[in-house]
Structure 1
Amino acid sequence: MWNIDLTLVDVAQVTRAAYAEAFERVTGAPLVYLASTSGRTDSEVFFEFLARNDVRLDPGEEPLADFIEALGESFARRRDQLTVRGRAMPGAREALAAVAALDDTVQTVVTGTIMANAVAKLSAFGLDRYLDLSIGGFGSEHYPKASLIQFTRMRAAEARNAAFSEAATVYITESPRDVEAAVIGHATPVAVVSGSATESQLRAAGAQHVLEDLTDTDRLLSALRQATAAAT
């Protein structure tokens, strides 16, 4: 399982613009104060936006579904900006191709991004071809990352008619919150120092396997073999 943002792609500029447009469209208030999105789902981000920007809801008001819809539409209008204002992370394409070539291995994503936007991010850089997105976990499901990891493992088992044990499940990410979610969700985290977190922060969160980036595919594959050694 892969995280997307700052693990496989960096499209932060486009994402921020879509957040701002969707937030103002739904609440009527400008998005002045941002929140950290690392390791969070789009649902969690929305409620933190509300708090940070002092937007108070009326009793019974539930704007989350409207925000998710508006976010998808706002992001779709910016799809042509993804390759102009964003990039695939160094080594991402080669890393996905190398893991895809492994026997008895299924690749997908577990991301806080809603499904439509996640697919757009990956397809813009040709990364979707290596992943089975039909079994992935996405922010549009409104569950925390740890639950998404567990659900994704179950979906993979059902789709492939095969058992995928906890010991054989790996989550690759750059976020300490995601590392913690992997531990809670009974997947082995493999961390990449490609975001704002340091190696020591990733290890403190529970990552025993930490890579500088994805450019060394041999090192990545070695980390995956070590991470899943107990399953063999």
Structure 2
Amino acid sequence: MQKELLVLIDIDGTLLSPGLSPRIALSRAIRDFTGSVIEFEIKHLAGLTDPLIVKNALLSLGFSEAKVRDNGFVDKILERYCRYLKEIYPCSDDKHVFPDVPDFLRFLSELPMVRLGIITGNIRDGAFVKLSAFGLDRFFSFGVYGSDSEDRNELPLIALRRVRILFNEEYSRDRVIIIGDTHRDVVSAKVHGMKSIAVVRRVEWLRKIEESDPDLIVKDFSEIERVRDFFRTVNIL
């Protein structure tokens, strides 16, 4: 049955804090192929896709543009990253789901006219590792990932094509809501005429988020009544 609204949610910083293990896994993978060690900071990662993060890292190490554009090389690094992530993520003790997330996802999943999906810069296998560690994958019927495109702004259009193929559903762009924690999430919605909700997990990012002009800003998902009010404006509640 055709649903009325497509809601796409980011993972890192929005649903959960992955801790340091993904950075460690990626640093190890890059070291394996380059012999160099990179210390990733959050500013190198937030809102970017995994392939773009790797390409930026390779450029910073002095690799040529031609080598960086070699997707086969980048893919090998990301495959190794996933192997390390599967080993160390389940037993890491600094990852956690934000406490407001379970109730928020239950609220969304109980809306019969909403199709709920993932939109993330993580490659597909990495996204599954992170979500499944907390059982969050059960809330989502599909996803679009950094492995679909290194350009985050392309992911919303890929999502529209994917729901058409998987569920035979069509959504106009004003019936899509993207939820994330960075200004890049907001921009990826606005460039396509889609709606956005920004959750401010880091107060230092508030200014950039405000400048990107999302349709709704919340400090976290415990502000469920404000989210309900927003959904009423799109005739879902």
Q: TM-score, normalised by structure 2?
A: 0.87
Output aligned runs, 1:123-134, within 5 Å. 123-133=132-142
1:101 paired with 2:110, answer yes
Structure number with the higher strand fraction is 2
Identity among equivalent pairs (%): 21
Output aligned runs, 1:64-143, within 5 Å. 64-82=74-92, 84-133=93-142, 136-143=143-150
What CA deviation, in whole Å up to 9, does each residue of 1:100-129 have, x standing for no partner? 111211111110001111011111111111
The residue type equivalent to 1:118 in the other structure is A
1:44 paired with 2:21, answer no
1:19 paired with 2:29, answer no
Q: Distance in 2 between matches of 1:99 and 1:33?
A: 33
How many equivalent residue pairs? 226
Q: Distance in 2 between matches of 1:2 and 1:207?
A: 14
CA displacement at 1:77 relative to structure 2? 0.9
Output aligned runs, 1:1-232, within 5 Å. 1-32=8-39, 34=41, 36-52=44-60, 54-57=61-64, 62=70, 63-82=73-92, 84-133=93-142, 136-195=143-202, 197-226=204-233, 228-229=234-235
CA displacement at 1:159 relative to structure 2? 2.0
After TM superposition, the structure 1 stretch with the greater mean CA deviation from structure 2, 2-11 or 215-224, is: 215-224
Unaligned runs of 5+ in 2: 1-7
CA displacement at 1:197 relative to structure 2? 4.6
The residue type equivalent to 1:78 in the other structure is I
What CA deviation, in whole Å up to 9, does each residue of 1:70-100 have, x standing for no partner? 1111111113234x22000121111111001
CA RMSD of aligned residues (A): 2.2
Q: Distance in 2 between matches of 1:175 and 1:145?
A: 12
Q: Distance in 1 between matches of 2:206 and 2:66?
A: 44
After TM superposition, the structure 1 stretch with the greater mean CA deviation from structure 2, 153-162 or 176-185, is: 153-162
The residue type equivalent to 1:126 in the other structure is G
When residues 7 and 60 of structure 1 are mapped into structure 2, their CA distance, relative to the original with a 3 A threshold, is: closer
Moved over 6 A (4+): none
When residues 66 and 163 of structure 1 are mapped into structure 2, their CA distance, relative to the original with a 3 A threshold, is: same
2:27–2:40 CA contact under 8 A, matched in 1:
no
Q: Distance in 2 between matches of 1:58 and 1:180?
A: 26
When residues 93 and 45 of structure 1 are mapped into structure 2, their CA distance, relative to the original with a 3 A threshold, is: same
CA displacement at 1:196 relative to structure 2? 5.5
CA displacement at 1:67 relative to structure 2? 1.0
When residues 32 and 161 of structure 1 are mapped into structure 2, their CA distance, relative to the original with a 3 A threshold, is: closer
Unaligned runs of 5+ in 1: none
CA displacement at 1:160 relative to structure 2? 2.0
Query: Residue 12 of structure 1: SS of its match in structure 2?
Result: coil
Query: Residue 107 of structure 1: SS of its match in structure 2?
Result: strand
Q: TM-score, normalised by structure 1?
A: 0.89
Which residue number in structure 1 is paired with residue 3 of structure 2?
none
Q: Distance in 2 between matches of 1:182 and 1:87?
A: 27
1:42–1:114 CA contact under 8 A, matched in 2:
yes
Query: Residue 207 of structure 2: SS of its match in structure 1?
Result: helix
CA displacement at 1:28 relative to structure 2? 1.5
Q: Distance in 2 between matches of 1:225 and 1:140?
A: 34
CA displacement at 1:18 relative to structure 2? 0.9
After TM superposition, the structure 1 stretch with the greater mean CA deviation from structure 2, 195-204 or 107-116, is: 195-204
Query: Residue 222 of structure 2: SS of its match in structure 1?
Result: coil
Q: Distance in 1 between matches of 2:156 and 2:91?
A: 30
Q: Distance in 1 between matches of 2:135 and 2:116?
A: 15
Query: Residue 64 of structure 1: SS of its match in structure 2?
Result: helix
